[in-house]
């Protein structure tokens, strides 16, 4: 069995997944596009704002008519935020106007209502303060001119992006298709969670873990299965995954050095790499291709499978979906730790209130409850055998 450095395997998996970055595109309704990623720059077909409108409740006037304020002007009409075209403004008159309402042709300034007073019984208004042309007027296209890009390519859509698309009158957006992933658990000992356990049986935790982790990375699970240690069944399951349109197959279990290693038995004779990565947990790893679809095989221990996904696959899927990389932070250890020289160790832990990295639950790869109680991984480099409390370490948030 070959043992390769962590970084080499990470690089290899990344290169295997790189072609998935060239995504097909699809159109989705703006209302359904939250969290999706734009496939191209999005042009606004209209000016934003679409028409010249008032920034204030007040009076639309000609700036020239109010230059000598205080002045009195007859109020000849009204422009509200409502459909319709206001009557053009004649020189020497004013029109009452609401915030957002169209500014009439002929008017070139708005006097806020607080700078005016009614002239009793006359239907006129007294303008108390001069306003320059353009004041309190929002020109059509002053936010964005028609034909300009309201959204760039490659951004993950947040509410403010959908708002701008809707304001542009768009109903659909061209987004990247989500990466279609299959998740297959292997192991004769595994049963559906909730099934009463016979001797030697375990609930399958990897199915749920990897399916939800794929979801959380902005990809989509198109096939999920579980097979016992039977090569023919595994082959049929992988075929079903490909037939379901999977672009990436993730398996757990069956790649170690034991006697019943179903994934290894199927893929190794067909040229896959099955070996060991200098890391803990998660040493056994494999990569191959099934009917043209990349297959990344993780060990069966749930902690190993989850960490392998987080460290090798999640970075590529997150980048494709426009998600930021996992957060990293350098902090001092809360207590001393030991490690295995030659392997990169990923201890599970939490950040204490004092900003220290506190290991949780020991190094064992079976500690699923301890992993659930952790918020980060503490990275101990290959060269290290022991670190004292207070030593600075890299951490990666889960």
Closest CA to 182 of 150, 139, 225, 143: 225
- Alpha carbon 81 to chain centroid distance? 37
Could you say whether residue 206 binds a second copy (CB under 8 A)?
A: yes
Does residue number 48 form part of the binding site for a second copy (CB under 8 A)? yes
Query: Quick count: other Cβ atoms within 10 Å of Cβ 155?
Result: 14
Provide the 10 A C-beta neighbour count for residue 25.
14
Q: Which residue is it, tokens 């989500």?
A: 178
Residue in 302, 315, 322, 349 binding a second copy, rule: CB under 8 A:
302
Q: Is 31 in the site for a second copy (CB under 8 A)?
A: yes
Separation between Cα atoms, residue 231 and residue 223, nearest integer Å: 18
**Partners of residue 278 on adjacent β-strands:** none
- Applying CB under 8 A, does 195 fall inside the site for a second copy? yes
Q: Which lies closer to a second copy via its Cβ, residue 228 or residue 330?
A: 228
Q: For the chain, what is the radius of gyration of the CA atoms?
A: 32
Whole-number Å distance between alpha carbons of 253 and 190:
10
Q: Which of 85, 105, 117, 385 binds a second copy (CB under 8 A)?
A: 85
Residue 43 touches a second copy, criterion: CB under 8 A: no
Under the criterion CB under 8 A, does residue 53 sit at the interface with a second copy? yes
Q: Minimum CB separation from a second copy for residue 181, in Å?
A: 13
CB 236 within 8 Å of CB 230? no
β-partners of residue 38 are 175
Using CB under 8 A as the binding criterion, the count of chain residues that bind a second copy stands at 95
Please, are residues 62 and 109 in contact by the beta-carbon 8 Å criterion?
A: yes
Kindly state the smallest distance separating residue 378's Cβ from a second copy, in Å: 15
Question: Is residue 163 close enough to count as binding a second copy by CB under 8 A?
Answer: yes
Shortest gap between Cβ of 125 and a second copy (angstroms)? 14
Work out whether 161 is an interface residue with a second copy (CB under 8 A). Answer: yes
* 215 is a site residue for a second copy (CB under 8 A): yes
Helix (H, G, I), strand (E, B) or coil at 3: strand
Judged by CB under 8 A, does residue 232 bind a second copy?
Answer: no
At 133, is the secondary structure helix, strand, or coil? coil
Helix, strand, or coil (residue 345)? strand
Please identify, using beta-carbon distances, which residue of 123 and 200 lies nearer to a second copy.
200
Nearer to a second copy, 290 or 395 (CB): 395
Q: Does 113 bind a second copy (CB under 8 A)?
A: yes
Closest distance to a second copy from the beta carbon of 370 (Å): 6
**Residue 47 Cβ, how far from a second copy at the closest point, in Å?**
10
372 sits near a second copy (criterion: CB under 8 A): yes
* Coil/strand/helix, residue 95: strand
Among residue numbers 64 through 83, which ones bind a second copy (CB under 8 A)?
Answer: 78, 80-83
Nearest approach, Cβ of 44 to a second copy (angstroms)? 7
């Amino acid at each position: 069995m070959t043992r390769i450095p962590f970084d080499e395997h990470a690089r290899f998996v990344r290169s295997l997944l790189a072609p998935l970055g060239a995504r097909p595109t699809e159109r989705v309704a703006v209302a359904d596009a939250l969290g999706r990623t734009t496939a191209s720059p999005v042009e606004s077909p209209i000016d934003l704002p679409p028409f010249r409108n008032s920034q204030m409740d007040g009076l639309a006037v000609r700036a020239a008519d109010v230059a000598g304020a205080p002045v009195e002007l007859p109020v000849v009409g009204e422009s509200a935020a409502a459909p319709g075209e206001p009557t053009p403004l004649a020189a020497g008159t004013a029109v009452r106007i609401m915030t957002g309402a169209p500014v009439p042709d002929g008017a070139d300034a708005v006097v806020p209502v607080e700078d005016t007073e009614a002239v009793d019984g006359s239907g006129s208004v007294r303008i108390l303060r001069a306003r320059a042309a353009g004041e309190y007027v929002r020109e059509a296209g002053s936010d964005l001119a028609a034909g300009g890009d309201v959204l760039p390519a490659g951004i993950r859509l947040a509410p403010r992006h959908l708002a701008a698309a809707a304001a542009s009158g768009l109903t659909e957006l061209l987004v990247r298709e989500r990466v279609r992933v299959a998740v297959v658990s292997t192991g004769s000992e595994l049963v559906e969670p909730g099934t009463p356990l016979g001797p030697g049986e375990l609930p399958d935790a990897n199915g749920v873990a990897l399916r939800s982790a794929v979801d959380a990375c902005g990809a989509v699970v198109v096939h999920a299965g579980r097979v016992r240690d039977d090569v023919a069944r595994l082959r049929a399951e992988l075929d079903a995954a490909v037939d379901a349109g999977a672009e990436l197959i993730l398996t757990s279990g069956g790649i170690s050095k034991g006697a019943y290693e179903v994934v290894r038995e199927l893929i190794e004779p067909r040229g896959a790499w099955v070996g060991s990565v200098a890391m803990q947990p998660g040493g056994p790893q494999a990569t191959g291709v099934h009917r043209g679809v990349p297959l990344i095989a993780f060990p069966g221990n749930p902690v190993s499978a989850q960490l392998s996904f987080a460290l090798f696959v999640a970075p590529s899927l997150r980048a494709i979906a426009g998600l930021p990389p996992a957060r990293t932070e350098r902090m001092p250890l809360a207590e001393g730790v030991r490690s295995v020289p030659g392997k990169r160790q990923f201890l599970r832990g939490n950040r204490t209130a004092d900003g220290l990295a506190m290991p949780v639950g020991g190094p064992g790869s079976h500690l699923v409850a301890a992993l659930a109680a952790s918020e980060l991984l503490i990275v101990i480099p290959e060269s290290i055998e022991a670190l004292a409390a207070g030593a600075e370490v890299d951490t990666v948030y889960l």
